[in-house]
Amino acid sequence: MSQRQLSLNAFIPSTGHHVAAWRHPDAQADGGHSFRHYAQIAQTAEAARFDAVFLADSAAVWGGSGEDGLTSLARSARAAHFEPITLLSALSAVTEHIGLIATVTTTYNEPYHLARKFASLDWLSNGRAGWNLVTSANQHEAQNFGLAQHVQHADRYDRAEEFIDVVKGLWDSWEDNAFLRDKQSGVFFDEHKLHTLHHRGKHFSVKGPLNVARPPQGYPVLVQAGSSEPGKELAARTAEVIFTAQQTLADAQAFYRDVKGRLAKYGRIPDTLKILPGIFPVVGRTEAEARDKFQALQDLIDPVVGLSLLSGMLGGFDLSGYPLDGPLPDLPASNGGKSRQALLIDKARRENLTIRQLYLSIAGARGHWQIVGSAVQIADQIQQWFESGAADGFNVMPPTLPGGLDDFTSLVVPILQERGLFRTEYRGNTLREHLGLQRPHNHHVPQSTAAAA
């Protein structure tokens, strides 16, 4: 298996990615608070040899916007669920190989707490932790942390740049071989291998050192999801995996070239950053079966929920005053996630969609790449993107959970494996090893020493 291999992560919001998934007859509607449900999902993904499970996050209820916000929220399943770091810590105890990626914002957290929890998760899981750095797209978070308004987009990225450097500095507090634990001499660690950070910057003053040993992976895998200009630049400097929303092969290829092309100026080679677009696969044994499955979900979308979802994805713009069957109005610039908003407006104009048609078009994939088809059709498309410079793998976003993941792992994965595109056994133990990423050296240790150790 010397051929280049796909990476596959499972994106696992409680009842599935489709906005009406919880209403599906097979859905476990209470999945957001059921550990048994999540253990089953993680074990399914592990049995299929996925690289990781991946949890989105927001430090606030994802409220709808406008007058109907509460009503639409009450008709969707996203208001309440497990917190990701606690959930992944528990999942670490019932899995052995699969990576565990949690989203945490840098905008409303402290780097010491974050560095510590991810280091601890990496130790609990023997090297399977990943951190998806976001700067918060949910406008409601600010008010849970003492601010009247969401921090401006540019300021969020400025803080994120410093935040990640502090976190990496804290993870390097201890050299890998600092702990001697020599019972005879009484020396627990070599004091020359402990490094105090003494960081003083624009946003943070953090003395350190971290009170967790250097993580088994050196650093947990660094994931990012921003596709704005500062988001791409931060990723080019620091990320090892990018989770991105791309709807067409051409767009995905352009994004791939763009981001990989930015690496050289930071002294990085292209293979040190893996680009994984989201894919929303509705899998059937035939294309017709897949279309029926998809239509059954679309029929369950409450218009109030669809409209609110669209408003939210347009940066909180209130669409409730506009006719559902009229065109999308002109929108002001937003402080939310910029890239997603631009993609949506572009789509509405290009395809001449009404507001209703637009929300129906996104209610499944929510801005990600949607394929409704047979397992072979989906495998073909995945292979095409993978082999034509559009992706190093995918974040698989099952329409329903556990059913949509079962469909993908039982029908699509075997085809990818037969074609030699995806592993049939794990060849390593850590998330880094699954992704083909090197273990970073400790910046306090000269590289020649590190290599010799």
The footprint of a second copy on residues 216-275 (CB under 8 A) is none
- Chain positions 124 to 143 lying near a second copy, rule: CB under 8 A, are 124, 140, 143
Residue 213 makes contact with a second copy by CB under 8 A: yes
User: Is residue 219 marked as binding?
Assistant: no
- Choosing from 287, 302, 318, 380, the residue that interacts with a second copy (CB under 8 A) is 302
* Residue 57 or 251 with smaller CB distance to a second copy: 57
Cis peptide before 111 (omega within 30 of 0): no
Size of the residue set binding a second copy (CB under 8 A): 78
Residues 6+ apart with CB under 8 A from 321: none
Cβ neighbours around 387 below 10 Å, total? 11
* Residue 37 or 338 with smaller CB distance to a second copy: 37
User: Is residue 410 marked as binding?
Assistant: no
Q: Is 255 helix (H, G, I), strand (E, B) or coil?
A: helix
- Choosing from 16, 169, 208, 336, the residue that interacts with a second copy (CB under 8 A) is 208
The nearest distance, CB 70 to a second copy, in angstroms, is 5
How far apart are the C-alpha atoms of 379 and 407, rounded to whole Å?
13
Residue 202 makes contact with a second copy by CB under 8 A: no
Residue 94 makes contact with a second copy by CB under 8 A: yes
Closest CA to 253 of 275, 233, 222: 275
The nearest distance, CB 268 to a second copy, in angstroms, is 30
CA angle 394/303/245 to nearest 5° reads 20
- Choosing from 144, 388, 438, 449, the residue that interacts with a second copy (CB under 8 A) is 144
- Choosing from 1, 155, 188, 447, the residue that interacts with a second copy (CB under 8 A) is 188
- Choosing from 85, 275, 355, 397, the residue that interacts with a second copy (CB under 8 A) is 85
H or E element that contains 350: helix 338-351
Closest CA to 344 of 317, 324, 326, 325: 317
Q: Is 133 helix (H, G, I), strand (E, B) or coil?
A: strand
The nearest distance, CB 138 to a second copy, in angstroms, is 10
Residues 6+ apart with CB under 8 A from 334: 314, 315, 316, 317, 341
- Choosing from 1, 80, 342, 453, the residue that interacts with a second copy (CB under 8 A) is 80
Known binding residues for FMN: 57, 103, 153, 157, 227-228
